Structure 1
Amino acid sequence: MSDEIRELVALSSRVLGAAEQGDLVWGHASARDPEGRGVWIKAAGWGMEEITPERVHLVGPDGDVLEGRGPRHSEYPIHTEIMAARADVGGVVHTHSPYAVALAAAGQDLLPVSHAANYFVPPGVPRFTDTADLILTRELGRAVAGTLAGTSAVFLVNHGIVTVGPTLRAATVAAIILERAAYQQWLTRGFGTWPTWSDPGESLSKREHIFHADAVEQVWEYLVRRLPG
Protein backbone atom coordinates (compact mmCIF):
# COMPACT_ATOMS: atom_id res chain seq x y z
CA MET A 1 0.00 0.00 0.00
CA SER A 2 2.78 2.48 0.86
CA ASP A 3 4.32 1.94 -2.58
CA GLU A 4 1.02 2.89 -4.24
CA ILE A 5 0.64 6.02 -2.13
CA ARG A 6 4.22 7.09 -2.78
CA GLU A 7 3.64 6.67 -6.51
CA LEU A 8 0.43 8.71 -6.30
CA VAL A 9 2.10 11.60 -4.44
CA ALA A 10 5.01 11.53 -6.88
CA LEU A 11 2.63 11.61 -9.85
CA SER A 12 0.64 14.47 -8.34
CA SER A 13 3.83 16.44 -7.74
CA ARG A 14 5.05 15.96 -11.29
CA VAL A 15 1.62 16.86 -12.72
CA LEU A 16 1.70 20.09 -10.72
CA GLY A 17 5.24 20.77 -11.87
CA ALA A 18 4.29 20.21 -15.51
CA ALA A 19 1.40 22.66 -15.02
CA GLU A 20 3.93 25.29 -13.87
CA GLN A 21 2.62 25.31 -10.32
CA GLY A 22 6.05 24.59 -8.91
CA ASP A 23 7.93 27.42 -7.21
CA LEU A 24 11.57 26.29 -7.30
CA VAL A 25 11.65 23.77 -4.42
CA TRP A 26 8.48 25.01 -2.66
CA GLY A 27 4.95 23.62 -2.76
CA HIS A 28 3.72 20.17 -1.83
CA ALA A 29 0.95 17.61 -2.23
CA SER A 30 -0.13 14.96 0.24
CA ALA A 31 -2.33 11.89 0.56
CA ARG A 32 -3.95 10.62 3.74
CA ASP A 33 -2.31 7.56 5.29
CA PRO A 34 -4.93 4.79 5.24
CA GLU A 35 -3.79 3.64 8.70
CA GLY A 36 -4.36 7.09 10.19
CA ARG A 37 -0.70 7.77 10.98
CA GLY A 38 -0.43 11.08 9.13
CA VAL A 39 0.17 12.17 5.54
CA TRP A 40 2.36 11.01 2.68
CA ILE A 41 4.10 14.09 1.31
CA LYS A 42 7.11 14.90 -0.83
CA ALA A 43 10.41 15.51 0.92
CA ALA A 44 11.74 19.07 1.10
CA GLY A 45 14.51 20.33 -1.14
CA TRP A 46 13.15 19.02 -4.45
CA GLY A 47 11.16 20.69 -7.19
CA MET A 48 7.73 19.28 -7.98
CA GLU A 49 8.91 17.93 -11.32
CA GLU A 50 11.74 15.98 -9.62
CA ILE A 51 9.60 13.88 -7.30
CA THR A 52 9.89 10.10 -7.49
CA PRO A 53 8.35 7.61 -5.05
CA GLU A 54 11.68 7.47 -3.18
CA ARG A 55 11.31 11.20 -2.43
CA VAL A 56 7.96 10.77 -0.68
CA HIS A 57 7.72 10.09 3.03
CA LEU A 58 5.16 9.66 5.81
CA VAL A 59 4.87 12.56 8.26
CA GLY A 60 2.94 12.26 11.51
CA PRO A 61 0.76 14.95 13.15
CA ASP A 62 3.71 16.18 15.24
CA GLY A 63 6.03 16.45 12.24
CA ASP A 64 7.96 13.24 12.79
CA VAL A 65 9.09 11.41 9.65
CA LEU A 66 7.69 7.93 10.27
CA GLU A 67 8.64 6.24 7.01
CA GLY A 68 11.03 7.24 4.25
CA ARG A 69 13.97 9.60 4.19
CA GLY A 70 14.77 13.25 3.66
CA PRO A 71 13.92 16.50 5.42
CA ARG A 72 10.23 17.25 5.76
CA HIS A 73 8.53 20.41 4.59
CA SER A 74 8.09 22.94 7.39
CA GLU A 75 4.48 23.58 6.34
CA TYR A 76 3.34 20.02 7.00
CA PRO A 77 0.63 21.37 9.42
CA ILE A 78 -1.37 22.59 6.41
CA HIS A 79 -1.83 18.95 5.44
CA THR A 80 -2.08 17.20 8.81
CA GLU A 81 -4.51 19.70 10.34
CA ILE A 82 -6.83 19.81 7.32
CA MET A 83 -6.90 16.00 7.31
CA ALA A 84 -7.69 16.04 11.04
CA ALA A 85 -10.53 18.52 10.55
CA ARG A 86 -12.02 17.02 7.38
CA ALA A 87 -12.69 13.28 7.34
CA ASP A 88 -13.93 13.67 3.74
CA VAL A 89 -10.52 14.86 2.50
CA GLY A 90 -8.08 12.32 1.10
CA GLY A 91 -5.63 14.70 -0.56
CA VAL A 92 -4.27 18.22 -0.02
CA VAL A 93 -2.29 20.45 -2.40
CA HIS A 94 -0.43 23.63 -1.51
CA THR A 95 1.23 25.66 -4.28
CA HIS A 96 2.17 29.23 -5.07
CA SER A 97 0.34 29.36 -8.40
CA PRO A 98 0.96 32.87 -9.79
CA TYR A 99 -2.43 34.01 -11.09
CA ALA A 100 -4.34 32.72 -8.08
CA VAL A 101 -1.87 34.41 -5.74
CA ALA A 102 -2.24 37.66 -7.69
CA LEU A 103 -6.05 37.47 -7.66
CA ALA A 104 -6.14 37.01 -3.89
CA ALA A 105 -3.55 39.75 -3.29
CA ALA A 106 -5.61 42.14 -5.43
CA GLY A 107 -8.52 41.63 -3.05
CA GLN A 108 -10.73 40.13 -5.75
CA ASP A 109 -13.27 37.39 -5.22
CA LEU A 110 -13.17 34.54 -7.70
CA LEU A 111 -16.06 35.10 -10.13
CA PRO A 112 -17.61 32.44 -12.41
CA VAL A 113 -16.64 34.20 -15.63
CA SER A 114 -15.47 30.86 -17.03
CA HIS A 115 -16.26 27.17 -16.79
CA ALA A 116 -13.28 26.71 -14.46
CA ALA A 117 -14.52 29.04 -11.74
CA ASN A 118 -17.77 27.10 -11.44
CA TYR A 119 -15.78 24.31 -9.81
CA PHE A 120 -15.53 26.59 -6.74
CA VAL A 121 -18.34 29.16 -6.98
CA PRO A 122 -20.69 29.01 -5.18
CA PRO A 123 -19.86 29.22 -2.34
CA GLY A 124 -16.53 30.72 -3.46
CA VAL A 125 -12.93 30.54 -2.29
CA PRO A 126 -12.45 31.87 1.25
CA ARG A 127 -9.44 34.03 2.14
CA PHE A 128 -7.02 33.17 4.97
CA THR A 129 -5.51 36.42 6.26
CA ASP A 130 -4.21 35.56 9.74
CA THR A 131 -0.67 35.63 8.32
CA ALA A 132 1.07 35.66 4.96
CA ASP A 133 4.05 33.89 6.54
CA LEU A 134 4.61 30.15 6.39
CA ILE A 135 2.15 27.84 8.18
CA LEU A 136 4.67 26.44 10.64
CA THR A 137 2.56 25.46 13.66
CA ARG A 138 -0.36 23.18 14.32
CA GLU A 139 -2.34 26.20 15.55
CA LEU A 140 -1.90 27.97 12.21
CA GLY A 141 -2.71 24.73 10.39
CA ARG A 142 -5.96 24.48 12.35
CA ALA A 143 -6.73 28.11 11.48
CA VAL A 144 -6.25 27.37 7.77
CA ALA A 145 -8.53 24.34 8.12
CA GLY A 146 -11.12 26.53 9.85
CA THR A 147 -11.06 29.08 7.03
CA LEU A 148 -11.28 26.32 4.42
CA ALA A 149 -14.30 24.94 6.30
CA GLY A 150 -16.36 22.79 3.91
CA THR A 151 -15.03 24.27 0.65
CA SER A 152 -12.56 22.77 -1.83
CA ALA A 153 -10.01 25.61 -1.86
CA VAL A 154 -8.69 28.51 0.18
CA PHE A 155 -6.54 31.50 -0.75
CA LEU A 156 -3.60 32.04 1.61
CA VAL A 157 -3.47 35.76 0.82
CA ASN A 158 -0.01 37.00 -0.28
CA HIS A 159 1.22 33.41 -0.05
CA GLY A 160 -0.47 30.69 -2.10
CA ILE A 161 -3.42 28.36 -2.43
CA VAL A 162 -4.62 25.17 -0.78
CA THR A 163 -6.97 22.76 -2.54
CA VAL A 164 -8.50 19.57 -1.22
CA GLY A 165 -10.48 16.64 -2.55
CA PRO A 166 -11.75 13.22 -1.59
CA THR A 167 -8.62 11.91 -3.30
CA LEU A 168 -5.26 13.45 -4.10
CA ARG A 169 -6.18 13.11 -7.77
CA ALA A 170 -9.17 15.39 -7.23
CA ALA A 171 -7.18 17.87 -5.11
CA THR A 172 -4.53 18.07 -7.85
CA VAL A 173 -7.11 18.71 -10.56
CA ALA A 174 -8.70 21.38 -8.33
CA ALA A 175 -5.37 23.23 -7.99
CA ILE A 176 -4.93 23.32 -11.76
CA ILE A 177 -8.53 24.40 -12.37
CA LEU A 178 -8.25 27.18 -9.76
CA GLU A 179 -5.20 28.64 -11.48
CA ARG A 180 -6.98 28.48 -14.87
CA ALA A 181 -9.98 30.25 -13.34
CA ALA A 182 -7.81 33.00 -11.89
CA TYR A 183 -6.02 33.46 -15.23
CA GLN A 184 -9.33 33.69 -17.10
CA GLN A 185 -10.61 36.32 -14.67
CA TRP A 186 -7.43 38.39 -15.11
CA LEU A 187 -7.77 38.11 -18.88
CA THR A 188 -11.44 39.12 -18.74
CA ARG A 189 -10.80 42.20 -16.62
CA GLY A 190 -8.03 43.22 -19.03
CA PHE A 191 -10.63 44.26 -21.60
CA GLY A 192 -11.53 47.16 -19.32
CA THR A 193 -15.27 46.53 -19.28
CA TRP A 194 -17.54 45.21 -16.55
CA PRO A 195 -17.55 41.40 -16.88
CA THR A 196 -20.55 39.13 -16.77
CA TRP A 197 -20.71 35.85 -14.90
CA SER A 198 -23.03 32.97 -14.11
CA ASP A 199 -25.59 33.25 -11.35
CA PRO A 200 -25.45 30.63 -8.54
CA GLY A 201 -28.06 28.36 -10.12
CA GLU A 202 -26.28 28.26 -13.44
CA SER A 203 -22.92 27.78 -11.73
CA LEU A 204 -24.18 24.75 -9.83
CA SER A 205 -25.70 23.32 -13.01
CA LYS A 206 -22.44 23.80 -14.88
CA ARG A 207 -20.50 22.17 -12.04
CA GLU A 208 -22.74 19.11 -12.24
CA HIS A 209 -22.41 18.89 -16.01
CA ILE A 210 -18.69 19.67 -16.35
CA PHE A 211 -16.97 18.64 -13.11
CA HIS A 212 -18.68 15.41 -12.10
CA ALA A 213 -16.46 12.73 -10.55
CA ASP A 214 -15.88 10.85 -13.81
CA ALA A 215 -14.79 14.05 -15.57
CA VAL A 216 -12.35 14.93 -12.78
CA GLU A 217 -10.82 11.46 -13.05
CA GLN A 218 -10.56 11.84 -16.84
CA VAL A 219 -8.76 15.16 -16.39
CA TRP A 220 -6.34 13.51 -13.96
CA GLU A 221 -5.61 10.73 -16.44
CA TYR A 222 -5.08 13.31 -19.21
CA LEU A 223 -2.64 15.28 -17.05
CA VAL A 224 -0.68 12.10 -16.26
CA ARG A 225 -0.53 11.20 -19.97
CA ARG A 226 0.99 14.62 -20.69
CA LEU A 227 3.94 14.04 -18.38
CA PRO A 228 7.31 13.70 -20.11
CA GLY A 229 8.08 10.05 -20.89
Structure 2
Amino acid sequence: MSRDDAVRASRALAAAGQGDMVWGHVAVRDPGGRGIWIKAPGWGLEEVEPGDVQLVSFDAEVVEGDGTPHKECHIHLEILRARPELNCSVHTHARSAVAFAALDVPLLPVSHEATIFGGADAPRFTTTGGLVCTPALGRDLAACLGDAPAALMPKHGLVAAGETVPEAVMHAVLLDRACEVQLAAMAAGPIRTYSDADEAAAKRAQCWPRSQLEAGWEYLTRK
Protein backbone atom coordinates (compact mmCIF):
# COMPACT_ATOMS: atom_id res chain seq x y z
CA MET A 1 0.00 0.00 0.00
CA SER A 2 1.61 3.27 -1.04
CA ARG A 3 1.51 6.56 -2.83
CA ASP A 4 1.30 4.70 -6.16
CA ASP A 5 -1.79 2.78 -5.00
CA ALA A 6 -3.53 6.09 -4.29
CA VAL A 7 -2.67 7.28 -7.80
CA ARG A 8 -3.97 4.11 -9.47
CA ALA A 9 -7.14 4.12 -7.38
CA SER A 10 -7.85 7.78 -8.20
CA ARG A 11 -7.44 7.13 -11.91
CA ALA A 12 -9.58 3.99 -11.77
CA LEU A 13 -12.43 5.92 -10.16
CA ALA A 14 -12.11 8.57 -12.85
CA ALA A 15 -12.25 5.88 -15.54
CA ALA A 16 -15.49 4.63 -13.94
CA GLY A 17 -17.02 8.11 -14.31
CA GLN A 18 -16.85 9.13 -10.65
CA GLY A 19 -14.82 12.29 -11.16
CA ASP A 20 -16.28 15.63 -10.09
CA MET A 21 -13.78 18.26 -11.21
CA VAL A 22 -11.35 18.55 -8.25
CA TRP A 23 -13.64 16.95 -5.64
CA GLY A 24 -13.71 13.37 -4.35
CA HIS A 25 -10.80 11.34 -3.04
CA VAL A 26 -9.48 7.92 -2.16
CA ALA A 27 -7.19 7.05 0.73
CA VAL A 28 -4.78 4.15 1.17
CA ARG A 29 -3.48 3.10 4.57
CA ASP A 30 0.25 3.58 4.98
CA PRO A 31 1.83 0.14 5.56
CA GLY A 32 4.01 1.62 8.30
CA GLY A 33 1.02 2.86 10.27
CA ARG A 34 1.87 6.53 9.74
CA GLY A 35 -1.54 7.51 8.34
CA ILE A 36 -3.10 7.61 4.87
CA TRP A 37 -1.97 8.39 1.35
CA ILE A 38 -4.48 10.77 -0.26
CA LYS A 39 -4.36 13.29 -3.08
CA ALA A 40 -3.75 16.91 -2.15
CA PRO A 41 -6.66 19.35 -2.52
CA GLY A 42 -7.18 20.90 -5.93
CA TRP A 43 -6.56 17.92 -8.22
CA GLY A 44 -9.08 15.91 -10.21
CA LEU A 45 -9.08 12.14 -9.86
CA GLU A 46 -7.97 11.77 -13.48
CA GLU A 47 -5.05 14.18 -12.98
CA VAL A 48 -3.38 12.61 -9.98
CA GLU A 49 0.35 11.91 -10.23
CA PRO A 50 2.65 10.66 -7.45
CA GLY A 51 3.75 14.21 -6.63
CA ASP A 52 0.14 15.21 -5.97
CA VAL A 53 -0.30 12.69 -3.14
CA GLN A 54 0.22 13.45 0.56
CA LEU A 55 0.86 11.25 3.55
CA VAL A 56 -1.55 12.51 6.22
CA SER A 57 -1.18 11.33 9.81
CA PHE A 58 -4.04 10.12 12.00
CA ASP A 59 -3.77 13.54 13.66
CA ALA A 60 -4.68 15.07 10.26
CA GLU A 61 -1.23 16.56 9.68
CA VAL A 62 0.73 16.36 6.41
CA VAL A 63 3.78 14.16 6.99
CA GLU A 64 4.94 13.99 3.38
CA GLY A 65 3.90 16.13 0.44
CA ASP A 66 2.95 19.72 -0.09
CA GLY A 67 0.12 21.91 1.17
CA THR A 68 -2.62 21.40 3.71
CA PRO A 69 -4.63 18.18 4.07
CA HIS A 70 -8.01 17.84 2.47
CA LYS A 71 -10.88 19.18 4.60
CA GLU A 72 -12.58 15.80 4.42
CA CYS A 73 -9.55 13.68 5.27
CA HIS A 74 -11.48 12.80 8.45
CA ILE A 75 -13.74 10.53 6.37
CA HIS A 76 -10.82 8.23 5.68
CA LEU A 77 -8.92 8.69 8.93
CA GLU A 78 -11.90 7.69 11.04
CA ILE A 79 -13.08 4.80 8.85
CA LEU A 80 -9.59 3.30 8.77
CA ARG A 81 -9.06 4.02 12.47
CA ALA A 82 -12.32 2.24 13.34
CA ARG A 83 -11.63 -0.82 11.20
CA PRO A 84 -7.99 -1.91 11.27
CA GLU A 85 -8.63 -4.67 8.71
CA LEU A 86 -9.46 -2.10 6.03
CA ASN A 87 -6.71 -0.64 3.87
CA CYS A 88 -8.57 1.69 1.52
CA SER A 89 -11.57 4.02 1.57
CA VAL A 90 -13.28 6.06 -1.14
CA HIS A 91 -15.43 9.16 -1.16
CA THR A 92 -16.92 10.51 -4.39
CA HIS A 93 -19.85 12.58 -5.57
CA ALA A 94 -21.05 9.89 -7.98
CA ARG A 95 -24.05 11.36 -9.76
CA SER A 96 -26.36 8.34 -9.77
CA ALA A 97 -25.73 7.74 -6.07
CA VAL A 98 -26.58 11.36 -5.25
CA ALA A 99 -29.73 11.30 -7.37
CA PHE A 100 -30.92 7.97 -6.01
CA ALA A 101 -30.32 8.90 -2.37
CA ALA A 102 -32.59 11.94 -2.83
CA LEU A 103 -35.56 9.61 -3.42
CA ASP A 104 -35.25 8.02 0.05
CA VAL A 105 -36.31 4.59 -1.20
CA PRO A 106 -34.59 1.24 -0.53
CA LEU A 107 -31.85 0.07 -2.85
CA LEU A 108 -33.20 -3.18 -4.28
CA PRO A 109 -31.21 -6.05 -5.78
CA VAL A 110 -32.49 -5.29 -9.27
CA SER A 111 -29.10 -5.98 -10.81
CA HIS A 112 -25.90 -7.89 -10.05
CA GLU A 113 -24.34 -4.70 -8.70
CA ALA A 114 -26.82 -4.20 -5.86
CA THR A 115 -26.18 -7.68 -4.50
CA ILE A 116 -22.94 -6.46 -2.90
CA PHE A 117 -25.28 -5.72 0.03
CA GLY A 118 -26.65 -9.28 0.04
CA GLY A 119 -30.25 -8.15 -0.34
CA ALA A 120 -30.11 -5.47 2.36
CA ASP A 121 -30.51 -1.74 1.74
CA ALA A 122 -27.42 0.46 1.57
CA PRO A 123 -26.63 2.31 4.81
CA ARG A 124 -27.41 6.06 4.72
CA PHE A 125 -25.37 8.73 6.49
CA THR A 126 -27.81 11.41 7.65
CA THR A 127 -25.91 13.33 10.32
CA THR A 128 -25.13 16.03 7.76
CA GLY A 129 -25.40 16.69 4.06
CA GLY A 130 -22.44 19.05 4.31
CA LEU A 131 -18.73 18.36 4.40
CA VAL A 132 -17.41 15.72 6.77
CA CYS A 133 -14.73 18.04 8.05
CA THR A 134 -14.30 17.09 11.72
CA PRO A 135 -13.21 13.94 13.53
CA ALA A 136 -16.64 13.69 15.17
CA LEU A 137 -18.41 13.65 11.81
CA GLY A 138 -15.87 11.17 10.53
CA ARG A 139 -16.62 8.88 13.45
CA ASP A 140 -20.37 9.17 12.81
CA LEU A 141 -19.80 8.22 9.17
CA ALA A 142 -17.60 5.28 10.13
CA ALA A 143 -20.32 4.06 12.52
CA CYS A 144 -22.94 4.40 9.76
CA LEU A 145 -20.81 2.41 7.34
CA GLY A 146 -20.24 -0.31 9.92
CA ASP A 147 -19.16 -3.51 8.18
CA ALA A 148 -20.99 -2.70 4.92
CA PRO A 149 -18.99 -2.39 1.71
CA ALA A 150 -20.35 1.10 0.98
CA ALA A 151 -22.90 3.67 2.11
CA LEU A 152 -24.94 6.46 0.58
CA MET A 153 -24.45 10.01 1.79
CA PRO A 154 -27.73 11.76 0.87
CA LYS A 155 -27.28 15.29 -0.49
CA HIS A 156 -23.57 14.58 -0.88
CA GLY A 157 -22.24 11.36 -2.43
CA LEU A 158 -21.04 7.94 -1.34
CA VAL A 159 -18.38 6.29 0.76
CA ALA A 160 -16.90 2.83 0.24
CA ALA A 161 -14.15 0.76 1.82
CA GLY A 162 -12.30 -2.50 1.42
CA GLU A 163 -9.54 -4.69 2.75
CA THR A 164 -7.73 -4.06 -0.52
CA VAL A 165 -7.57 -1.10 -2.90
CA PRO A 166 -9.42 -2.98 -5.67
CA GLU A 167 -12.22 -3.91 -3.25
CA ALA A 168 -12.77 -0.33 -2.08
CA VAL A 169 -12.77 1.08 -5.59
CA MET A 170 -15.09 -1.58 -6.92
CA HIS A 171 -17.49 -1.22 -3.98
CA ALA A 172 -17.85 2.46 -4.90
CA VAL A 173 -18.32 1.62 -8.57
CA LEU A 174 -20.89 -1.10 -7.88
CA LEU A 175 -22.95 1.10 -5.56
CA ASP A 176 -23.16 3.88 -8.12
CA ARG A 177 -24.03 1.45 -10.92
CA ALA A 178 -26.73 -0.18 -8.76
CA CYS A 179 -28.25 3.25 -8.16
CA GLU A 180 -28.10 4.01 -11.89
CA VAL A 181 -29.92 0.79 -12.82
CA GLN A 182 -32.66 1.31 -10.25
CA LEU A 183 -33.15 4.94 -11.30
CA ALA A 184 -33.64 3.78 -14.90
CA ALA A 185 -36.12 1.09 -13.87
CA MET A 186 -38.11 3.47 -11.67
CA ALA A 187 -38.26 6.03 -14.48
CA ALA A 188 -39.97 3.42 -16.68
CA GLY A 189 -42.53 2.26 -14.11
CA PRO A 190 -42.97 0.38 -10.83
CA ILE A 191 -40.27 -2.17 -10.03
CA ARG A 192 -41.87 -5.60 -10.04
CA THR A 193 -38.97 -8.04 -10.21
CA TYR A 194 -35.80 -8.24 -8.14
CA SER A 195 -33.85 -10.87 -6.19
CA ASP A 196 -35.17 -12.03 -2.84
CA ALA A 197 -32.80 -12.14 0.12
CA ASP A 198 -31.65 -15.71 -0.53
CA GLU A 199 -30.93 -15.13 -4.20
CA ALA A 200 -29.25 -11.81 -3.48
CA ALA A 201 -26.95 -13.44 -0.93
CA ALA A 202 -26.11 -16.23 -3.38
CA LYS A 203 -25.43 -13.74 -6.15
CA ARG A 204 -23.14 -11.75 -3.89
CA ALA A 205 -21.03 -14.86 -3.42
CA GLN A 206 -21.19 -15.79 -7.11
CA CYS A 207 -20.68 -12.38 -8.70
CA TRP A 208 -18.42 -10.53 -6.26
CA PRO A 209 -15.69 -12.74 -4.83
CA ARG A 210 -12.36 -10.96 -4.53
CA SER A 211 -11.24 -12.37 -7.88
CA GLN A 212 -14.10 -10.65 -9.72
CA LEU A 213 -13.59 -7.37 -7.89
CA GLU A 214 -9.95 -7.53 -8.92
CA ALA A 215 -10.95 -8.26 -12.53
CA GLY A 216 -13.12 -5.15 -12.57
CA TRP A 217 -10.30 -3.14 -11.01
CA GLU A 218 -7.81 -4.32 -13.64
CA TYR A 219 -10.23 -3.30 -16.37
CA LEU A 220 -10.55 0.19 -14.91
CA THR A 221 -6.79 0.59 -14.52
CA ARG A 222 -6.31 -0.45 -18.16
CA LYS A 223 -8.70 2.32 -19.17
TM tier relative to shorter chain: over 0.9
Of 31, 34, 38 in structure 1, the residue corresponding to residue 28 of structure 2 is 31
Deviation at 1:83, TM superposition (A): 0.5
1:195 CA drift (Å)? 2.7
Mapping 1:113-152, distance limit 5 Å: 113-152=110-149
Q: What's the CA shift for 1:61?
A: 1.6
Runs of 4+ that moved beyond 6 A: none
State the distance in 1 between where 2:166 and 2:68 align.
24
**Structure-2 residue corresponding to 1:172:** 169
- Is 2:173 aligned against 1:211? no
Matched, 1:195 2:192: yes
Contact 2:108 2:119 in 1 (8 A): no
Which residue among 72, 82, 87 is the counterpart of 2:84? 87
Structure 1 residue 168, shift from structure 2 partner: 1.6
**Which AA in structure 2 matches 1:64?**
E
TM-score (normalizing by structure 1): 0.94
| 1:157 is the counterpart of 2:154 | yes
**CA separation in 1, counterparts of 2:51 and 2:179?**
33
Identity of aligned residues (%): 44
Deviation at 1:120, TM superposition (A): 2.0
Query: 2 CA distance for matches of 1:154 and 1:117?
Result: 12
Cα deviations by residue, 1:166-208 (Å, 9 ceiling, x for unpaired): 0122101111111111010011112213331101110111111
Partner of 1:41, secondary structure, is strand
CA RMSD of aligned residues (A): 1.1
User: What's the CA shift for 1:87?
Assistant: 1.5
Counterpart pick for 1:20 among 14, 17, 21: 17
1:48 aligns with 45
Matched, 1:106 2:71: no
Q: What is the SS of the residue equivalent to 2:158?
A: strand
Per-residue CA shift, 1:22-41, capped at 9, x if unaligned? 11100000111112111111
Size of the aligned set, in residue pairs, is: 223
What are the Cα deviations for residues 103-142 of structure 1, in whole angstroms up to 9, with x where unaligned? 1111022110001100123333111111101001000000
Contact 1:111 1:121 in 2 (8 A): no
